[in-house]
Amino acid sequence: MNLTIDTYAWIEYFEGSVQGNKIREILENENEYEVFTPSIVLVELADAVVKGKIKINWDELVRFVKLNTKIINIDEIVAKEAGIIKNNLRKKHPDFGLVDAIVLATARINNSRLLTGDNHLLNEDDVIDIKE
């Protein structure tokens, strides 16, 4: 099984929360999984670092993410799928955002389950709720 880690899950990890410990366990057992991080998640993590939401040096954060996961860039395939996902999920969640659509598209294209606690994503079949 492949896994994709979204911003919500990474923030929990870097904060050392109970939910973040689930991510830690997965990363420690990385031989069992191929683990991905969408490149747009790095943008959101940079924002969290600048705001002081997570207390870690940016260079250390990026180094850790790159050592433990494969960064997946946005390409034309992800872009198209994200557009479809955004428009479909807006019917259920009027405030569903493009970043969440890109993250979910990245996971789906890579035959991956998405690790998150984001309420907009939790009812999707290919999402694992780290709050449980």
Q: Which domains, from first to last, does the chain contain?
A: 2-73+111-129 (3.40.50.1010)
Confidence band of 30 (pLDDT split at 50, 70, 90)? low
Which value, in Å, is the radius of gyration of the alpha carbons in the chain? 14
Residues in the chain, total = 132
| pTM recorded for the entire structure | 0.92
pLDDT at 49 over 90: yes
Pairing mode, strands 2-5 and 127-129: unpaired
Tell me the per-residue pLDDT of 59-99, one tens digit each, with 9 for 90 and over: 999 999 999 999 999 999 999 999 999 999 999 889 999 99
CA distance 78 to 100: 12
* Angle value at C-alpha 86, between 84 and 92, nearest 5 degrees: 115
Q: What is the pLDDT of residue 66?
A: 96
Tell me the per-residue pLDDT of 34-48, one tens digit each, with 9 for 90 and over: 999 999 999 999 999
Lookup result for tokens 């830690």: 24
